Amino acid sequence: MLIWTGDQNFLFLVPWLVFGGTVLFVLEPRLSRSGGSAHQDRGLATALWPLAAAVVFVVAIYGGYFGAGIGILMISALSLLRMGDVHLIVPFKNLLAGCLRGVAVVVLVIYGEIHWGYGVPMAVGGLIGGYLGGALTGRINRTVLRAVVVIIGFGLAAYYFWTLYGPLVLHIGGE
């Protein structure tokens, strides 16, 4: 889709998607109900399955099309679906993001849209970052990891809002 339509169609959605995904990640513990025991896995409330399905669908379409902030969105969607503890979600997110980007790369290679001078260093950096991130995830306290994901998510959203809409100018008084 990106080859035929350009990135402008989704560019205005980036900050909203990243912000929404981060909010969902923050609210996930409240959206999931306790199963009785503190050690039991919580399940998603039945009434929220349509919301979860819609979130996963939007994340998949967006990730294949554009991809900015896709990590936060995937973590949110997988958390909302109760895929397990955040320590399990982040490496799984890395696998899914790799598959998603792999398919996109194949399509872009077929259409001759890759600028290899930029593409190779980015691919190497992405592989190294994904490996190190996955390895470090298991060693970080769950609460700290969730806090880091939330900080990065809101930080990315703020960056994208700033980049897209510029500084907020408040007019106080009659000016």
Burial classification of residue 166, based on how many CB atoms lie within 10 Å of its CB (0-12 exposed, 13-18 middle, 19 or more buried): exposed
User: What residue spans define the domains of the chain?
Assistant: 11-33+47-162
pLDDT of residue 22: 85
Q: What is the mean pLDDT of residues 47-72?
A: 73
pLDDT over 90 percentage in the chain: 6
Give helix 49-65 / helix 70-80 axis angle, nearest 10°.
160
- Report the chain's terminal Cα–Cα distance, integer Å: 44
Strands 32-33 and 43-44: antiparallel
User: In terms of pLDDT, which residue wins out, 142 or 3?
Assistant: 142
- Tens of pLDDT, residues 100-151: 778 878 888 898 888 889 888 988 988 888 788 777 877 888 888 889 889 9
Contact by Cβ (8 Å): 44, 31:
yes
